[in-house]
Structure 1
Amino acid sequence: MAAASVPLRLAGHGLGNRLAFERDPLGFLLHQRQYGDLVRIDDELYMVNTPALVEQVLKNTNSTFSITRDLLGEEIDGSRASEDLAQWMRARHVAGRGVNRSGLRAAGDRMAAVVARHAEAWRDTGTIDAITALEDLSARLIAEFCLGPDPGRVPALVARLQDARLPGALPWPGWAPSLRGRRLHRVERELAADVSRLIEERGTRPEGPASVVVDQLIDACGQGVLTHQGAVGVVVSTLFAAHETTAAALAWLLLLLDRHPQVRRQVVDEVDRELGGRLPTAGDLPRLAITGAVVKETLRLYPPLWYLERTVAEPAELGGHRLHPGQRVGLSPFALHRDARLYDQPATFHPARWTDRPAHTRLPGYAYLPFGAGPRMCLGAHFGTVAMTTTTATLTAGYQVTRAADCTPTFDTRTILQPRGLTLDITDRAPMSRTYR
């Protein structure tokens, strides 16, 4: 089919469409779907709205399509020389073997203890800023998983990098971006230097608790599969992406449980029944079916990667329409996950849809992609779901987590999808059966 133009009554012309997108990104993405499977926003940008077209774009990233903008919309070198791209993908593949199911089983038993220590501190405080506290937690979880139980300054540096990358809510003076850029590069260098040092120390002193990701990268360096710098680069990118997306998704999950007390009761009953007052281990997670469904449904309604974009690298046909190099294709997991052609009552929080096997199996491929898909899928996707399930089970076992009475969270789409302004009250539900150092 030919690409449809967004009609005049939506915004009037290409510039108007872009202004409408900036004013209300999520509303615009939901609205534009009615104009076709492939919608022309302007001469440069097209939106795809079906799993089949999404699959065509994401599976062919690194060939027909490339990534040329980061999460902040800033230009990056997405074309990469072929050898540079090949080395980057080798590093991702090696790291991915560590961030897979077997790697997480090896380290999963330590996760709940980390969550419990943070939860005790939150309880002592009483009220927390959700995003700040959960980013601190997720940075610690992913840093320990990638680098071992003593990641030094890395969690704090990951948080500083996040602050440096995030644009201000208000416009800055004209000279400010250069200061922001210098600060960003300084923190990036510090983080890379600390990761490099920890990898080197692990290589010279391999004794101690296993650090699955780094150990796999060190082995690959020893075999000449990738360079030390390549190993550092993939760890840094994994740290940053996984901590931010996991924290945002956890914030949405806790807000949803507060809004749906009947679902929270189901989670609490399951955790009490399956864990009996102890903390979860990796081996417990398959039995926490309701908790896992809550995680999956949260990621459907509020996928951290709410919008993805690819640049056409070579002439392509998409949905019967010819695209040319330099044009861009956008896709929205947020909009796709709320498509009534794919999901019953798509705007409703209904975790049971994932435990109803027939409903689950009816979904086509690429209809559910909270962490993207294809060769550039987020490396921390499986880590994120395991961390979310473990955190949810740990918190519901011992604490009551509720939205603070004076807080009204709003959608924040400056980078990933977050509930801006969410504050949570943390109180004891029942005494924990163990203490943690």
Structure 2
Amino acid sequence: MSDDSSYRVATDFSGKLAKPPWGYRQWMLTGNPAIFFDHLANRFGDFVHYRGAFNFYLINHPDLIKNVLQQTNKNFDKNTPIYRRFANAFGNGLVVSEDTRWRCQRKLMQPMFGHRAIEQFFPVMVASTNEMLSRWQARPNQDSSFDLAPEMSRLTLEIVGRTLFRDNFGSASEKIQEWTHTIDSYSAKPPIPIIRDLWFPSGRNRRLKRTLREFHGFIQEMIDERVATRHGDDLLGILLRAQDPQSGQAMSHTQIADEVLGMIVGGHETSSSALTWAWYELTQHPETLTQVFEEIDQVIGSRPLEIEHIKELSFTRMVLDEVLRLHPPFWFENRNTRQQTKLAGVDLPAGSIIVMSRYSLHRHRRYWRDPNRFNPHRFQPKHEENPRSSYAYIPFGGGPRICIGTHFAMMEMLVIMALIGRHFQIELSCEDRHEMSAATTMTPKHGVRVIARPRAS
């Protein structure tokens, strides 16, 4: 990877930040937003002023992004239209909370998501995946195709549900799937001001509000039950027992409900999207798929999958890293300037919206050779492009607000990849071009239809 730290600021002849013409504004509303921001960065530079309904600044350079997310992160917050809508719908959880509340929540929850702590959820991941594979094995026609995307979504939802609620998830799984489907449908289109706000009297918004009431009611029932039975050993029980070591303060039940809803809504989308893209890419690159199979066979063989095996799946991890580079599920990030702030020598007014597109950053030609090519080997430890310590690669964000569930998601995806790859050969059922959809998450627009045939033992 290049260590060139210079960035290209888009300017017109007056020396001010360039402002793309009106046609770009129409594209933002009607086109694919990830492609829009990528074109904006490629056409105008690493720092672009774009004025639409709000005062936007697109930044697409690792140093600028590091400045916003880490070095001067206190100058920015999440008081943006998108995060406000998220908070109105899903509560004031860790994703959207700020300042003292966020610090307290993060401090309480961080120990639950460390490397060692999440290993207790490994058996849930294995059991849920094996149940899905048993359904695949029982299909009467092994040559029939199915859409992989909803299968991955159902599986990752099952895992996060069992992690949170243990046995109670089974009895409520169909209802939870229905609720999350409604929420996912709400998130399936780019956020357009006004009509996407919950107060707007649309049928979609009324359905979402009803769903959220029912979902919150279910979570509160689970909390009440855990309190009555002295909590339990699932993640919900751990949340209820968590206390600040200095003050002894625990989370309120409202706080816990907000966190649980956020985990369910966001906790399955990242993994399911990445897994769907992973198998799509592997079907397009048979040599890479063969390497994945060889590693799985060598590391696991005919033995039951153990936690120690996951740490040895280094090439499979590189495949997932490359998938997250090309197809980052949460493909964009945004911040609000708390007060007038200087960035790269430019004065940004208070209330400006800073936009960071992971999709564009991860394909920046200055930092990635042949950036649109699927090449897991670029993530080898000593490879010149290896970006693990750089803000050129931020699939889970960066700085103090990096996603708390990063380790959980990576272990979950490796478990699922290993078990699917051990038992099934995945093939695309057709050669149709798989178009990308970029809303809240980046997904294949029309799904990915595959044929899963049992591998010869």
1:162 match: 183
**Alignment deviations for residues 89-115 of structure 1 (CA, whole Å, 9 cap, x no partner):** 423442332222122211113312211
Which deviates more, 372-381 or 108-117? 372-381
Q: 2:28 is matched with which residue: 16, 21, 37?
A: 21
Q: CA-atom RMSD, angstroms?
A: 3.3
The answer to whether residue 27 in structure 2 is matched with residue 30 in structure 1 is: no
Judge conservation of contact 1:268–1:397 (CA < 8 Å) in 2.
Answer: yes
> Corresponding residue for 1:113?
127
Q: 2:118 aligns with which of 92, 99, 104?
A: 104
> Is the CA contact (8 Å cut-off) linking 1:246 and 1:388 kept in structure 2?
yes
State whether structure 2 residue 349 is matched by structure 1 residue 324.
yes
Amino acid at match of 1:330: V
- Report the equivalent of 1:230: 255
Query: For residues 41 and 113 of structure 1, what CA distance do their matches in structure 2 show?
Result: 48
Q: How far has the Cα of 1:427 moved from its partner?
A: 1.7
- 1:424 aligns to what? 450
Partner residue of 1:280?
Answer: 305
Gapped regions of structure 2 (runs ≥ 5): 1-6
Counterpart contact for 2:77–2:336, Cα < 8 Å: yes
**Partners of 1:381 and 1:6 in 2: how far apart?**
40
Deviation at residue 202 of structure 1 after TM alignment: 2.8
Cα distance, 1:331 vs. partner?
A: 0.8
User: Matches of 1:47 and 1:205 in 2, distance apart?
Assistant: 50
**Contact 1:245–1:304 under 8 Å retained in 2:** yes
Counterpart-to-counterpart distance in 1, 2:230 and 2:299: 36
- 1:54-133 pair list within 5 angstroms: 54-59=65-70, 60-61=72-73, 63-70=75-82, 74=85, 86-125=100-139, 126-133=144-151
Q: Contact (CA 8 Å) 1:161, 1:188: kept in 2 or not?
A: no
Cα distance, 1:315 vs structure 2: 1.2
Residues in 1 aligned to 2:335 and 2:27: alpha-carbon distance in whole angstroms: 21
- Going from structure 1 to structure 2, the CA distance change for 1:179 and 1:272 (only over 3 Å counts) comes to same
* 1:176-215 matches, cutoff 5 A: 178-206=202-230, 210-212=233-235, 214-215=237-238
Q: Could you say if the C-alpha distance between residues 394 and 177 of structure 1 is closer, same or farther in structure 2, counting changes exceeding 3 Å? A: farther
Indicate if the aligned counterparts of 1:37 and 1:49 stay in contact, CA closer than 8 A: yes
| CA distances 1:359-410 after superposition (whole Å, capped 9, x unpaired) | 3656653221112223433333222211111111000000111211265421
Aligned-pair distance for 1:264?
0.7
SS at the partner of 1:330? strand
259-268 or 110-119: which moved more? 110-119
Report the equivalent of 1:334: 359
Are the counterparts in 1 of residues 231 and 241 from structure 2 also a CA contact under 8 Å? Answer: no
Shift of 1:47: 0.8
Q: Contact 1:401–1:425 (CA<8 Å) still a contact in 2?
A: yes
Secondary structure in 2 aligned to 1:243?
A: helix
- The alpha carbon displacement at 1:128 in A equals 2.3
Map of 1:394 onto structure 2 = 419
Say if 1:136 and 1:6 are closer, same or farther in 2 by CA, change over 3 A. farther
2-structure distance, mates of 1:187, 1:356 = 45
- What's the secondary structure of 2:394's corresponding residue? coil
Change (3 A) 1:83 1:235: closer
Identify if the C-alpha distance between structure 1 residues 283 and 4 changes in structure 2 by more than 3 Å, giving closer, same or farther. Answer: same
Q: Which residue of 2 aligns with 1:147?
A: 165
The AA in structure 2 aligned to 1:256 is E
Cα 1:205–1:244 change in 2 (3 A) is same
Match in the other structure for 2:278: 253
8 Å contact from structure 2 (residues 59, 355) kept in 1: yes
Q: Distance between the aligned counterparts of 2:103 and 2:240, measured in 1?
A: 13
Shift of 1:130: 2.1
**Aligned pairs, how many?**
422
- In structure 2, what is the Cα distance between the partners aligned to 1:157 and 1:95? 28
The answer as to 2:10 corresponding to 1:4 is: yes
Partners of 1:83 and 1:20 lie apart in 2 by 31
Q: How far apart, CA to CA, are the structure 2 residues paired with 1:5 and 1:83?
A: 35
* TM-score (norm: length of structure 2): 0.82
1:47 aligns with 2:47: no
Q: 1:263-286: CA deviations, max 9, x gaps?
A: 111111111111112342322111
Amino acid corresponding to residue 156 of structure 1 in structure 2: Q
Which amino acid in 2 is paired with 1:20? W
Q: Is this contact kept in 2: 1:55–1:366, CA < 8 A?
A: yes
Q: Within the alignment, does 1:350 sit opposite 2:397 as a pair?
A: no
Are the structure 2 counterparts of residues 362 and 424 from structure 1 closer, same or farther at C-alpha, using a change threshold of 3 Å? Answer: closer
Distance 2:237 2:411 in 1: 19
Q: Which residue of 2 aligns with 1:434?
A: none
Query: Distance in 2 between the 1:58 and 1:246 partners?
Result: 23
Change (3 A) 1:386 1:364: closer
1:346–1:138 Cα change, 3 Å: same
Identity of aligned residues (%): 24
| 8 Å contact from structure 2 (residues 19, 50) kept in 1 | no
Are the structure 2 counterparts of residues 279 and 187 from structure 1 closer, same or farther at C-alpha, using a change threshold of 3 Å? Answer: farther
